């Protein structure tokens, strides 16, 4: 079974013999992959964000500072969104209670079949519960260069991460590597060129993504222009499918024009976020793009329009843009050179560096609205995490 289809399990167990027993059972099959065994309950939230398991098994009798059932309660309170199976013994009965974060119970002694069916069962239920939107692929596109695609893709990604979504960015402007440049990623940071050309697995992905500001993982473009032609569209497509499995949201920045890669990215997108500005070229090209999209067969709902620098119409009648789009644009972001310029020059996201600025509020609002999140959803812990200094370091 391809590793991308395996269920990722994190085991919280401080009795080495039990841990070894579970490991042995899992070694004999390929449906479930044990990503880590944690003996200290206090380490579990960190390990969950590191490994992103699909299922967590917790020993009810876990000892230490955080005991088994305290940990289960904590995971529930943290709303980790990962189903929990409690491992126990007949002398210590535990009842299934999803309201308390106990999605399943497994009592000793158990065999491999019991273990796997429980894990697969809670995983299936959890996947069905989130099936309405487990991941979104948003491709930021524009009918003209220089309108703010890269700036918006990056800040939108950081805002979404701050809103609690596991977010990844893709530097789809592969010749110039706009995200690479904006974030000042080191030359030796991993990039699309490091993707294995054959089968891509989750472990390969960890090796090719670069951790940017606010813990946003980034698939970078190659470091030099001429290397762009070495990137295989097929590999990027496969990688995107895998990323969709691991992240709630994947945001792709694109370069100028409609080359083979951009077309492939647009095809895979759930939503094309088309950035427009008030200028005559944009208006002309937007109409041409809309015709092209229609010919390709994209439904009108696949495209959402964002007017960047929406408060500077520069002599253009907003009605002209509206007519070109065929409707009112869905989103607007104001122009704010004093905020956007200096933060971008430092490779920092203005949404967290200058959260009080109007332009930051606009981007956060776009993120909420685009992702269907309610106002006020930004978790305090997430804000703290995303306020970390830019470029905390490559993996
Ligand atoms: N809302 C805004 N207010 C002020 N400046 C902005 C805003 N949005 C973008 N900019 C600035 O506009 C310039 C172009 O932005 P950016 O590089 O993101 O555009 P792009 O569409 O990605 O360009 P390219 O087509 O070259 O990829 C940058 O200097 C950026 O800082
Ligand atoms: Mg760009």
Q: Express each pLDDT in 380-390 by its tens digit.
A: 333 333 333 22
Cα 363 versus chain centre, distance: 17
Q: What is the mean pLDDT of residues 333-356?
A: 95
Instruction: Return the ligand number nearest the Cα of 179.
Output: 2
State whether the beta carbon of 382 lies less than 6 angstroms from ligand 1.
Answer: no
Both structure tokens of 154 = 């990056």
State whether the beta carbon of 310 lies less than 6 angstroms from ligand 1.
Answer: no
pLDDT band at 340 (very low <50, low <70, confident <90, very high): very high
Q: Express each pLDDT in 321-333 by its tens digit.
A: 899 898 999 999 9
- pLDDT score recorded for residue 378: 43
Q: What is the mean pLDDT of residues 315-344?
A: 93
- pLDDT score recorded for residue 372: 80
Q: Express each pLDDT in 205-246 by its tens digit.
A: 888 999 987 678 999 999 999 998 888 888 888 889 889 888
pTM exceeding 0.85: no
Residues 202/206/209/214 CA torsion (nearest 10 deg): 110
The alpha helices in the chain, defined as continuous H runs, are: 16-27, 44-51, 68-77, 112-129, 149-162, 178-182, 202-208, 233-246, 260-268, 280-296, 318-325, 337-345, 350-353, 358-371, 380-386
Q: E-strand spans in 291-348? A: 303-308, 331-333
Q: What is the mean pLDDT of residues 364-387?
A: 60
Q: What residues form DSSP beta bridges with 143?
A: none
Cα gap 103→214, rounded to integer Å: 31
State whether the beta carbon of 349 lies less than 6 angstroms from ligand 1.
Answer: no
State whether the beta carbon of 277 lies less than 6 angstroms from ligand 1.
Answer: no
- pLDDT score recorded for residue 133: 47
Please report, rounded to a whole number, the percentage of residues in the chain having pLDDT higher than 90. 64
- Give the residue with greater pLDDT, 209 vs 99: 209
Q: What is the mean pLDDT of residues 291-316?
A: 91
Residue owning tokens 């960190």? 46
Give the mutation target among 139, 142, 148 for probing the ligand 1 site: most ligand atoms within 8 A of CB: 148
Cα gap 74→102, rounded to integer Å: 11
- pLDDT score recorded for residue 345: 94
Q: Express each pLDDT in 47-78 by its tens digit.
A: 987 888 999 999 999 999 999 999 999 998 87
Residue owning tokens 């491992």? 87
Whether the Cβ atoms of residue 352 and residue 158 lie closer than 8 Å to each other = yes
Using the mean position of ligand 2's atoms as its centre, give its distance from the Cα of residue 267 in Å.
Answer: 19
State whether the beta carbon of 308 lies less than 6 angstroms from ligand 1.
Answer: yes
Cα gap 138→135, rounded to integer Å: 10
Using the mean position of ligand 1's atoms as its centre, give its distance from the Cα of residue 356 in Å.
Answer: 20
């Amino acid at each position: 079974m391809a590793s991308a289809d395996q269920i990722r399990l994190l085991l919280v167990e401080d009795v080495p013999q039990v841990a070894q027993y579970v490991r042995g059972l899992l070694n004999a099959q390929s449906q479930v992959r044990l990503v880590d065994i944690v003996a200290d309950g206090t380490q579990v939230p960190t390990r969950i964000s590191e490994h992103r398991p699909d299922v967590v098994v917790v020993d009810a009798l876990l000892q230490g500072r955080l005991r088994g059932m305290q940990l289960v309660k904590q995971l529930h309170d943290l709303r980790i969104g990962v189903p929990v199976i409690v491992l126990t013994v007949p002398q210590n009965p535990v009842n299934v209670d999803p309201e308390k974060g106990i999605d399943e119970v497994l009592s000793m002694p158990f065999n491999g079949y019991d273990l796997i069916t429980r894990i697969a069962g809670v995983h299936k239920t959890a996947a069905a519960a989130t099936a309405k939107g487990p991941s979104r692929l948003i491709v930021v596109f524009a009918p003209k260069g220089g309108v703010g695609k890269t700036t918006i893709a990056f800040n939108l990604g950081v805002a979404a991460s701050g809103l609690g979504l596991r977010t990844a960015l893709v530097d789809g402007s592969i010749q110039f590597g706009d995200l690479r440049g904006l974030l000042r990623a080191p030359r030796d940071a991993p990039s699309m060129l490091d993707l294995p050309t054959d089968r891509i697995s989750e472990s390969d992905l960890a090796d090719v993504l670069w951790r940017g500001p606010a813990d946003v993982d980034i698939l970078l473009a190659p470091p030099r222009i001429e290397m762009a032609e070495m990137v295989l569209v097929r590999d990027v497509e496969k990688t995107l499918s895998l990323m969709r499995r691991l992240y709630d949201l994947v945001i792709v920045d694109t370069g100028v024009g409609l080359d083979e890669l951009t077309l492939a990215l647009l095809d895979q997108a759930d939503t094309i976020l088309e950035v427009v500005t008030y200028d005559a070229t944009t208006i002309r090209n937007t109409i041409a793009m809309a015709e092209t999209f229609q010919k390709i067969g994209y439904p009108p709902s696949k495209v959402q329009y964002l007017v960047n620098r929406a408060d500077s119409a520069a002599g253009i009648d907003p009605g002209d843009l509206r007519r070109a789009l065929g409707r009112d644009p869905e989103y607007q972001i104001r122009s704010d050179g004093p905020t956007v310029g200096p933060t971008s020059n430092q490779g920092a996201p203005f949404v967290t560096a200058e959260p009080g600025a109007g332009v930051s509020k606009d981007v956060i609002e776009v993120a909420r609205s685009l992702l269907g999140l309610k106002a006020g959803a930004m978790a305090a812990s997430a804000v703290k995490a995303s306020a970390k200094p830019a470029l905390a370091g490559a993996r």
